[in-house]
Each structure stands twice: as C-alpha cells, then as structure tokens.
Structure 1
C-alpha cells in the first residue's frame, strides 16, 4: 500500500517537472525571436526614388532648375475690394417736386453721361410761379423797349421831357434784372437753357426730364484712357411710376466701377511694417482672382500703398491702408440694351502681402517641394527617372513658397521636384524597406526605428 502511494507521488512530480521545462523553453523562444524582428533597420534615405513617367503624370510631378535670386519675406493681411469715395457711386436726385411719369433706364442698364433717366410731371408751385414771373417780365421788357423806341424821336425834338425817357430806361434795366433772376432760378432747378427760352415765349414747362450727370474732372482723366466710351451703370432704381417725389429725393443710384480701392486691415503692432513699406516705396502684392480661360488682360499683382488711415477702429482695434485698383470691363448686349461686366467687384475678399525682409542669393521653391522630418528639411533632386533626397536649410517658409539657402545641399542649375515632396518621401521609405528585406508588416519611423505592425 505504501509502495503504491510512492509511485503515485513520483508520477505527479515528474509531470510537474515536465510542464515547467516546456514552459521555460517556450518563453525563451519568444524572447529570442521578438528582438530579432524589432531590430531590423532598413537603410533609410540611401536608395534614390525611382518614378516611372506614368507615375509622374499621375502625381502631376514637375521639375525645374534652381536659380539663385532675391526673395522678399512678406506679412500677409486680409483685404477687401471697396468703392472709391466720390467716384464709384453717385445718386441722382429730383431737382423739383413732381410725379414720376416715365422711366427711361432700369437697373443693369448702362447710360452715357447726360443721358435721360426719368421724366417728372411738375407739382411745384414755386416753379410755376417762376415761369409766370419770367414770362411777365419778358413781356413787360418788350413793351418798355417799344415805348422807348417810339418816344425817342419826341424826346430828341424837345416835345417830350427827357426825364420820361430816362424813367423808361431805368424800368427796362429793372426788368432785365428780374428776367435774369428768374432764369437763374429755373436753371438752378435743372431746367435747360432752351426750355427757359421757351418759357419766356409763353410755352410753360409741365414736365421735366432728369439726366445722368456729366463726366466731371475727377473721372475725365479716366475716360481719356479708356478704349470704350464712358458709361454709368444703373445700380438701383429708387422710385416707381406714379410716385410723388420731393425736391432732393433720390431717384437713381449710378455706379462707375472703373476705379476701386483695396482696403487692407492690420492691428496696431503691424503699423511699423506698413510705415516701413510706405517710407521705402515697397510695393504690396495682391492675390487677385484670375480666370482659367484667360479671358481678361494681364494685370500686375504689385501695387503701391496709396495711403494709411490715421485712426484705429475702436471696435475691431484695426487700422486700414489702401491700394488703388484700376478695374477692367467687358461689354455685351441683351435685348438690344448694352450691359457691362466688371472683373473686380466691391466686397471681394483678397490677401495682401507687404514686404518685410529681403533675402538675397537664395533658392525659392514651392512650399510643397519641401518635406520635414522633425528639424530636418529635404528636397528631391531629379536625375532621369530617379529622385535623390537632399537635406537643405530653409530660411523662411509661408503657405506658398519656401526659401532655401544656396549651397546647402543643392546648387544652381539642379533640377528639383516642384511638389509632392511628402509623397516622394513615403515612396523612398517604402522602396528602402523593400530593399532591406524587412518583413512586409514592418512599420518604419522617421527616426529609423522600426516595429511590427499593430
């Protein structure tokens, strides 16, 4: 009985020992295999990237030779196109009280200077009174002249006292002054010269036509430079047929968008930058909208800062600075009426870049031509179908361009990829991983460390 218990205990002990030995062997195997997989380090960056012509076309990859030049670091400001005060918009008012009986121009129409806009039926008692007094004074003057002619011979012979003739001449002068006063009154109300002459003959004015203003001295210089005739565009019609208006009421709003302004806004801390640009005569650069069809003439994107506001908006805490913008137009016709389409419109949002710092003898590449890995920056130099990654020193970078120091990894005349640097960097790492024989599931970090896929 004791012998049987001994054999049972021995069997249990042997089983436990066997399990423990198997467990130890399994653990040592895993510990030796895992580090072997984790220490695989493919040679990153040592293999040039090979890109086929089809891949280049798919990526839109373009290379261009480097050329040292000058670059201005700029400060970017939000800007908006605004109307030029006193030039862009103007109102046309009713010269007298009346009722709108006819409308000659409507919103969207183009009208030449001095073109008819609307006709008013007169309701002004003062205008009727001025016409009546002008007619009476004109008739009295004619009668007085007739009397002087008739009595001149009698006064010369002594049959009539000369004092009578002098009284008639004085009366004629007073009547002439009265006529001049009423003519001026009617002219000030917008009555044309030929209409005033007709009133003196008894043809009273019952309607008045309101005309577009003439091109003044402020716009005449602009008109002389145009290839198309000067016109206003009817921006809005403020009245309706049959509406009664008083003298001074706005009838139309006309627009001339040939001259506009670009208003940039900056904070108080930005004021020294703007002042330096104005003092040194540095031109600001504007991102003007362009048409892909190229149906507008070429226009320079560099403009001189015209003026800087001397006050700060208390609500936004910003100040304004302004750039003059000459507009471009295209004419077309609809239903027999002329229309005009302007390239730039008030309210359009823009970006305005003001020069701040000058870099000389540098390479300028698109922002997408540079890829960063921590503090390191790289570009890709083309050699046939191969692209070599080159380290560079980036002096400045904005949302459009990167400024690279000359002689830092690249030379003048080297062909560099103008974009897709991040994609080329990923392809390079993938090709380097394949060349190293690393397992397919291996993940490579930018610093060269690797680990198995999660």
Structure 2
C-alpha cells in the first residue's frame, strides 16, 4: 500500500504537465489567429485565384485627390461639349455694359432709285435681295412724259434747221469768194448757226436730266427718231461717296469741246484733276416698290438699293456711364460688342470705336445715344439663275451689348465665365489631369458677363489645361456622386 503511493503521485504530475502544455498551445494559436488575421487561403476567393481580378484594376489614384477629382468618359465629355484651354496670365480689362442695336448709316447705307420721268414700267431686271454693281440696268420705262416728248421734238427740229444753215453757209462761202455776195450776209448766217447750236446744247442737257443717255441722244441725232423707252440703272459712286451718272459727266465734258463742231462729232476731252473717278460699288436691292405695267411719275421712288458693308451700332448710355463714354471717345479706346451666337455662345466683336455722341437725352428712358462704327462682312453668297444673292453677317435691327472700358487689372488669370463654378462662398475651376478633372478653389478678383479675373496666387499655373465651359455641370456631377459628403471610394463596388 505504501509502495503504490509514489507511483500515483508521479502519474498525477505527468498528467498535469501535459494539460498545461495543451492549454499553452491552444492559447498560442488563439493569439496568433487574433493578431495575424486569416490565412492567405482563407482571404482569397476562387475568382481571384483563377484570373487575378482586382476590384480597383484600371483606376489609378496616384496624383488625384478623390474628394476633389472627377473622372469623365469620352461620352460625358461630348455631352458636356467640354472644351479646355491653357491657363495664361495677363491683363484684365473691366467693362461697363450698355444695350445697343445695329442700325443703317444715315445718308450712306440706303439709296433711293426714283423714276427719272413719267412712264410705265415695262420690265424689271432685278430681284429683291440681289447684289448688283454700279451701272447695272434695273428697270425699262416706256415714256409717257409730255415734256420729254416735246424736248425731243424741239431737238429734232433744231437739228433740221442746223442742217439747212450749214448748207447755206457752205453755199455763201463759195460765192462770197467771187464777190457776188457780201461777207455780212454769211456772217449773219453764222450767227444764226450759233443760236441753233446753243439751243441744241440746252435741249441735250434737258434730255440728260430727264434720264436719257449720251448713246440715246446720239441715236436721236443719227436716226432722227424719238426715244420711246429708257433704261433706269444703278448709280455710280464717286470717291467722296456721292452719286453720279455717266451720261451727265460725258455731257459736261462734251460741252467743253469746240462749239463749232456738230454734236454728233464732239469728242469728250480727257478728265482733268477735278473730274469724276468711279469706285467699285455693289448694292443689295433691299426694296422693290413697283410692278410691271405700273404707271409711275417723275421723282417717284421705284426701288431702294443698300450698301451694308459699313453700318453703325447705336448704344444707349445712362448718366452713370456718361464719363466712361466721353473718355472712350476722347482716347479712341477700343470698344467691344457681344451678341449671342447660333449655339448660345457669346460672340465677341472687337476693334470698334466711338464715331460720335448724340446731343439729345431721351425724355422717357433718360438715355444718351452714341454711335460706334461697324465693318460688315458677307457670310453667305449664292448664285441662282445667274443672279447673285448675299447675306451679310450684321443686319440692321440686331440686338447686342456694347462694352465700354472702365479699368485694367494686371497679372491676372483671365478665363471665360463658364469656366468658374460657384458653391456658396467658394469658387472653383477644373484642371485637366490625365483622364480626370481636379477641382481647385480660386479667388475671384473681378468679373463681367463674359470673363472672370482670377487672382494669380499659385493655385493654378500657366500652361495647365482648364475646362473653359461646363464648370457648373462638373460641380453638380461631383456633388451627385458624393451624395453630399465625398466618399473616396464612390463608384467602386467592393
């Protein structure tokens, strides 16, 4: 009994030791599992083992702040009509804006075509909207003017009397040399011939003023028949912008010739320093006031032609803008104009100057009119049925905005107004960074309806590509994706 007690004690000690070792192993495994996490085999899904797929594959977040960065697809760029331009640093000119409207240039744009005499419109050679040159035929008029008919009759009568006098003078010259007739008789005949020539010159001037041409008058003299129709032509334009008829110039020059010569043989002398010089001019037929077969009277307007190459912009300045207006006119400062383009964009017109300031304040609007010169250009040119039709870029009646310079800010970053997004007190621009656009907060120095001046404080740098339109849509998209607070992993399904 005594000998078995030590053996039991030894067995008990061994069992306790093994139990302590097992407890230690279990505790060690627990601690390793808690701090080291699951094994690699447990964390890998079958799909990741098979194809190596990564939920973040294709998303490079290096260099992008997820809270202020937005990735756009090519379709999104196209839908936004997104445009980028490099950032530049330069001066910003602040402008005061006043309303304006394109108007004709008084006394220069429109020209009235009037009937030179009473008659009936037999033919119309032009169409409304057609572009014609100086001297182009416009109407054919059948004469019913009694004064012109009588003038032609007197002209033919005097031509016949002149023929008689010429033959008589020739006869007297032949017999005077033989002494049969005194020289006094021949001299009386020559005086009578001078009277006839003076009457012919007066009749010719009268027919020219009635609208007949030199060629028509020469035809009357050659064929001894009356003119029944006249052609009304577009007038010629001189260097001083005056209108001129070629027939009148030829008549004036021919009257300066030898009065002894017959009218048919008179030749125009060369033009002197004060002669007429034509310039190339083209007009649009803006109005047609008659129809074929219509009877018209002398002096009645039958058409209107217009030269839209130079127009005016009528601006309306108010009392607060009077000083800026005078300053722009005195210094010949460049005035700008803006108008809405066909796609909603703002179209800028530069290089304008104030021509003159009005002298009347409108009683109702209390505004002062001023006028700015506007050079026009043809935007559409088409030929149909051998007639040329054009459309000018600027048209009277178009509304626009005139911008008078106020002040100048140096060393600014000038961007279009659509390049800046607003949210509360903050202003943002979006810088292109690869396939992302990074939002950058900026400080606005000045702004108008076209441009914004940003302080050059290092937030954005020259040469960076900035979104110049669609900034507001980019800001709204960033807020929508973030759901208010920006989630760095927004758009990624883990």
**Pairing of 1:211-360 with structure 2 (within 5 A):** 211-218=233-240, 230-287=281-338, 301-318=350-367, 319-360=369-410
Q: Give the 3-state SS of the residue equivalent to 1:107 in structure 2.
A: coil
1:60-87 CA-to-partner distances (Å, cap 9, x unmatched) read: 5555553321110111122222222333
Question: 1:84 aligned to 88, 92, 105, which one?
Answer: 105
The 5 A counterparts of 1:24-423 are 48-54=67-73, 57=77, 59=80, 64-201=85-222, 202-218=224-240, 230-287=281-338, 301-318=350-367, 319-380=369-430, 390-407=440-457, 409-413=459-463, 416-422=466-472
Deviation, 1:273, is: 0.9
2: distance between equivalents of 1:56 and 1:362?
Answer: 31
Does 70-79 or 368-377 show the bigger shift? 368-377
Q: Secondary structure at the match of 2:449?
A: coil
Q: CA deviation at 1:130?
A: 0.9
Asked if the contact 2:376/2:392 (under 8 Å) is kept, the reply is no
| Partner Cα distance (1:306, 1:178) in 2 | 49
Secondary structure in 2 aligned to 1:51? strand
- The residue matched to 1:191 in structure 2 has which SS? coil
CA contact (8 A) 1:392 1:408 kept: no
CA contact (8 A) 1:81 1:263 kept: yes
Structure 1 residue matching 2:173: 3-state secondary structure: helix
Contact 1:308 1:322 in 2 (8 A): no
What's the CA shift string for 1:306-325, capped at 9, x where partnerless? Answer: 33323333443321222222
Q: What SS does the aligned partner of 1:108 have? A: coil
Q: Distance in 1 between matches of 2:377 and 2:458?
A: 44
Please give the alpha-carbon distance, in whole angstroms, between the structure 2 residues aligned to 1:104 and 1:65.
55
Secondary structure class of the residue paired with 1:287: strand
Counterpart-to-counterpart distance in 2, 1:191 and 1:262? 40
> Is the Cα contact below 8 Å between 2:121 and 2:292 reproduced in 1?
yes
Greater CA radius of gyration, 1 or 2? 2
User: Deviations along 1:212-265, whole A, 9 cap, x unmatched?
Assistant: 212332569xxx9x9xx8533222221122222111011111122222222222
- Higher mean alpha-carbon deviation, 69-78 vs 365-374, is at 365-374
Structure 2: distance between partners of 1:117 and 1:417: 55
Q: For residues 369 and 207 of structure 1, do their structure 2 counterparts lie closer, same or farther at Cα, with a shift above 3 Å needed?
A: closer
Q: 1:362 to 1:141 in 2, by over 3 A?
A: same
| Structure-1 separation of matches of 2:448 and 2:403 | 11
Counterparts in 2 of 1:183 and 1:65: CA distance versus 1, 3 Å? closer
Mapped to 2, the partners of 1:383 and 1:151 lie a distance apart of 108
Over aligned residues, Cα RMSD in angstroms?
A: 3.3
Residue-by-residue CA offset, 1:273-292 (whole Å, 9 max, x unaligned): 12212222321122256577
Structure 1: gaps (5+ residues): 1-45, 293-297, 438-454
Q: Secondary structure at the match of 1:234?
A: strand
Q: Compute the displacement of 1:144 (Å).
A: 1.2
Match of 2:6 in 1: none
Mapped to 2, the partners of 1:397 and 1:385 lie a distance apart of 30
Deviations 1:2-60 (A, max 9, x none): xxxxxxxxxxxxxxxxxxxxxxxxxxxxxxxxxxxxxxxxxxxx973232232963655
Call closer, same or farther: CA 1:300–1:287 in 2, change over 3 Å.
closer
Deviations 1:137-178 (Å, cap 9, x if unpaired)?
111112112111111243344322332222111111111111
SS, match of residue 172 in structure 1: helix
Deviations 1:184-216 (A, max 9, x none): 111111111122123234211122221121233
